[in-house]
Amino acid sequence: MCSAGGPIDVDFNDPLKGKGKKYRCNECGQTFTGLGRHPMCPSCQSEDVTEI
């Protein structure tokens, strides 16, 4: 798994945390599924995202 921008902060052994959440980027409008405490837009690499 690629981890541009920092270390991975996901515990894959926790079944509730391994599902991902839907986000929308406030910079470019891209919607994506993200994992971890600091999701990053895969399109523009912005961390300015909102959970939807």
Residue 1's pLDDT band, with cuts at 50, 70 and 90, is very low
Q: CB neighbours (10 Å) of residue 38?
A: 10
Least trusted range by pLDDT, from 6-10, 23-27, 37-41: 6-10
Residue 24 makes CB contacts below 8 A (sequence gap 6+) with 30, 31, 49, 50, 52
Residue 7 has pLDDT above 50, yes or no: yes
Helical residues (DSSP H) of the chain, grouped into ranges: none
Give the per-residue pLDDT at 27: 98
Give the per-residue pLDDT at 19: 81
Flag whether 38 is in a domain. Answer: yes
* Structural domain count of the chain: 1
Residue 40's domain spans which residues? 21-51
Flag whether 3 is in a domain. Answer: no
Least trusted range by pLDDT, from 10-14, 17-21, 32-36, 42-46: 10-14
